[in-house]
Amino acid sequence: MKLDDLRSILLSERETGRLTSVSPDFYEKGHAELAAITKKVYEFEDPFSDEARSLIDETLSIRETLEDIFSLRTRKILALTVMHAEGNYYDREEVKRMIPAEREMFDQITAAIEQSQGHLIRNRPHVPITSPRHGAPVPAAATAAVTVSDEGDPGELSEPAEIGEEADAPAEQAGPAPVPVAAAPAGSGPITHPCTLVRVLQDMDTFMGVDGRVYTLSKGDIVTLPERNAAVLTERNIVLNINLCK
């Protein structure tokens, strides 16, 4: 997934208030492209060359475009959850245009809204919804399952299953095979980069180090840089090598 392809998706999302059809694995393809470009940056002898900087700028643009697409599509999905919760009409075709992760987000949010409505408006017993990050997840039987079927009316909710009642497990939906991310430079374990403590002698534009981090240097800063980057900057009298970090 090239930068131009991602920008085309972003433009389409900006031009309409509805979700557009996208490849279910476009995020994975975007990350694979990022990994491939980053690998090329590692291969440059001079990471501050024009070619290297051009590739670095491209990685930053890809990341920014992916974030913008996520932001736009998420806002549209949130609007759909509100219309669903209020029982208003919405185009079910938009739900079909969600990629699997977005559909999961939609289902979780609508279920949470329905649960809160039941407690706050219909005076049902309150059952906390706990995310896995903050504690054990609540069993599915404890919350109302929200479904949007192709035949059912918009906003139709399925009844919660009785506790202890076994429900038929939904058939696993076949999704696209994950796109393998480009491998990092040679080595089976994580890549480590020897670092050097330096003092910055003059301001410098933002750049990506060989460790994949983005650095912005200002005169007077004392920072740790990968040795390879520090060596090039020392030769150009941009930084002063102070000490070697083990």
Residue 120's contacts (CB-CB under 8 Å, 6 or more residues apart) are none
Q: In angstroms, what CA-CA distances link 97 with 23, 76, 77, 101, 142? A: 9, 11, 10, 11, 29
Residues in the chain predicted with pLDDT less than 70, given as ranges, are 128-193, 243-246
Of 63, 75, 78, nearest to 108 by C-alpha is 78
Q: What is the pTM of this model?
A: 0.58
**pLDDT at res. 12:** 93
**pLDDT at res. 130:** 56
Alpha-carbon span 19 to 76, nearest angstrom: 7
Alpha-carbon span 234 to 239, nearest angstrom: 5
Do residues 184 and 152 touch, judged by C-beta distance below 8 A? no
- Residue 136, exposed/middle/buried by CB under 10 A (0-12, 13-18, 19+)? exposed
**pLDDT at res. 88:** 80
